[in-house]
Amino acid sequence: MVARTLPAIDRDNEAYWTWGREGKLAIHRCAACEYFVHPPVPFCPRCESRDVAPRAVSGRGRVVTFTINHKAWVPELSEPYVLALVAIAEQDDVRIPCNIVGCDADKVDFNMEVEVVFEQTEDLWVPLFRPVTA
Amino acid sequence: MTRFAEKDTAITGVGLSDVSRGATKSALALTVDAALEAIADAGLTRADIDGIATWPGERADGSGFSPVGCAALQDALRLEVGWYGGGGEAPGQYGAVFNAIGAIAAGLCRNVLIFRTMCEATARKTAYANSLLREGQRQAGPFSGYAPYYTYAAALQQALFFNLYVHKSGIRPDQVGQVAVNQRRNAALNPKAIYKTPISIDDYLASPLIATPLRLYDCDVPIDGAAAIIVSRMDVARTLKNPPIRIEAIGSSMRYRNSWTQLAELDTQAQPKVAKMMWSRTDLKPADVDIAQLYDGFSFHTINWLENFGFCERYGAKDFIDGGHRIALDGELPVNTGGGAMSGGRLHAYGAVHEACTQLWGRAGARQVKGDPQICATSTSGGPLAGAMLLVRD
């Protein structure tokens, strides 16, 4: 595959893209009311607390929706591959764009249970998800 | 009752440049063509134009997505304006119109020239420019979360929403394909459309998959071209050449999470609340609408708008478009009568406004809808960028 394009890192999203170094998926969470805030912002829209900070979650989730890409958008882009939105197990409205790896593209389905794995690219650890086995 | 500002405005003229897959003119020259045609169509002169607006404003990034901004057009035409506005932070493409309505209501201007120019066909021949995300650059902004996942085009991220819709509604590919078939049939009667050769459902089903369930014929066509409209204060409009096309009601706003991943309902996107807002500003009902120009960046958007505007029930579009009769030119609700963006070319909902006015003024020639249509529903875009307008001939 071609190299992954990477996101620009700022104070709010740094944990999300780097905690994978320790094998942890970091999602911002309100310490006061336990609401997860994503994309990461240090403000809770539910209780207005500013005590919101990255916290490691289980890394488990479900496939909300997905698509199988068939087009070679750039040279050497091997296809097909799966682009998905995964809802984290802790809160269903936190949705993470990702690729589903570790299974054939045609095995991916709605509501499939998945778990996070990380792929280091440069100084970032990109969250990907694979089917939960067992 | 609240007096809604859009009811004191009307579209008074429209213009459309040559639309092609490779223009011999510059983007600015195409824009001047469309602008001068719209000004003349309204029965105005350059001296009468006292406002300019566009969406999303000049993006000098080589992509051709929006190569011309207000300043360039103002200078080219040497206009003297009291107000201008561009920019992408607006509720979709019609944000330029909604801003113009506000400017007119504020007394800043009386006749606003609104335009949308795209030169993506040429850009794609000269540079790799069809990506949301550029290789080798770190990405910031609304698509940064998609950055590492080979999300090279809007087609991929919209296919996520489309696939969920298909899963929930049970719509079949041969039903989805009726949008493409209908629009190509209409385009065959539109001299300015890009693709005029009719296609069948079998052709649709044989077209390549881009990203499941999205096929090539579900996608709009990148073009070089410009569309322009004149929005005038109503008392001025009533002194001009054409019967005013009143902006009866608009829907916009951010009543949902403005996000390409966290929308509450991914399969309906932002459309339901936008449509609800539009219907709350008029006494008219979906059954009153004669024709519809529904956003068709992808056929999924058109199908979604049929439901969200209330022309059929939630997940009922599959039955509404089955066989294609009801959305045809002689059907109960003719949809995208000029071929839309999928066969006519992507002018990002401004082609749709041009076609709406063309039909409401009875100028559509071979594709003119019978029965003197007077009310047209129009809409923009997907994801969180939804906007809607109900247009009524005075």
| pLDDT tens string B336-369 | 999 999 999 999 999 999 999 999 999 999 999 9
Distance between first and last Cα of chain A? 29
Nearest CA of chain B to the CA of A80: how many Å? 9
The DSSP-derived string for B197-236 is: S---HHHHHHSPEEETTEEGGGB----EEEEEEEEEEHHH
ipTM of the complex: 0.97
**Chain A residues inside the 8 Å CB shell of B155:** 71
Average model confidence (pLDDT) for chain B?
95
Asked if pLDDT for residue A75 goes beyond 90, the answer is no
Query: What pLDDT is recorded for position A76?
Result: 83
Phi, psi of B10, rounded to the nearest 5 degrees: -155, 155
Share of chain A above pLDDT 90, in %: 90
Asked if B149's CB is within 8 angstroms of A73's CB, the reply is: no
| pLDDT(B157) > 60 | yes
pLDDT of residue A51: 98
- Write the pLDDT tens digit of every residue in B230-281: 999 999 999 999 999 999 999 998 889 999 999 999 999 999 999 999 999 9
CA B285 to chain centre: 21
* B132 vs A72: which has the higher pLDDT: A72
Helix (H) or strand (E) holding A5: none
pLDDT in tens, B75-95: 999 999 999 999 998 888 999
Structure tokens at A34: 């336990």
pLDDT value of position B134: 66
For A104-123, letters b (16+ CB in 10 Å) and e give: ebeebeeebebbbbbeeeee
pLDDT exceeds 60 at position B152: yes
pLDDT at A79 over 80: no
**What distance in Å separates the CA atoms of residue A47 and residue A35, rounded to the nearest whole number?**
9
R_g (Cα) of chain B, nearest Å: 19
Model confidence at B129: pLDDT above 70:
no
* ∠ Cα A107 A110 A111 (to 5°): 110
pLDDT digits (tens, 9 = 90+) for A1-22: 788 999 999 999 999 999 999 9
B362 φ, ψ (degrees, to nearest 5): 70, 30
Task: Say yes or no to pLDDT of B133 above 90.
Answer: no
Query: CA dist A65 to A121, B48, B76, B174, Å?
Result: 25, 51, 47, 22
Q: Which residues of A touch B (CB under 8 A)?
A: 1-10, 13, 38-39, 64-71, 73-74, 77, 81, 83-85, 93-99, 110, 121, 124, 126
From B93, B222, B215, select the one nearest B159 (Cα to Cα): B215
The reported pLDDT for the residue numbered B61 is 84
pLDDT digits (tens, 9 = 90+) for B191-242: 999 999 999 999 999 999 999 999 999 999 999 999 999 999 999 999 999 9
* Cα(A30)–Cα(A40) distance, integer angstroms: 11
Distance between CA atoms of B109 and B81, rounded to whole angstroms? 8
Which residues 256-285 of chain B have a CB within 8 Å of chain A? 259, 261-262, 264, 266-267
CA separation for the pair B309, B286 (Å, rounded)? 7
The one-letter amino acid code at B208 reads: P
Q: What's the mean pLDDT in B29-42?
A: 98
Contact assessment for residue B11 and residue B248, using Cβ atoms and an 8 Å cutoff: no
pLDDT in the model for residue B128: 56
Alpha carbons A65 and B25: distance in angstroms, whole number: 43
Task: Mutation target for A interface from B130, B150, B152: give the one with most A CBs within 10 A.
Answer: B150
Contact B321, B177 (CB under 8 A): no
Contacts of A6 in chain B (CB under 8 A): 138-139, 147-148
> What pLDDT sits at residue B381?
85
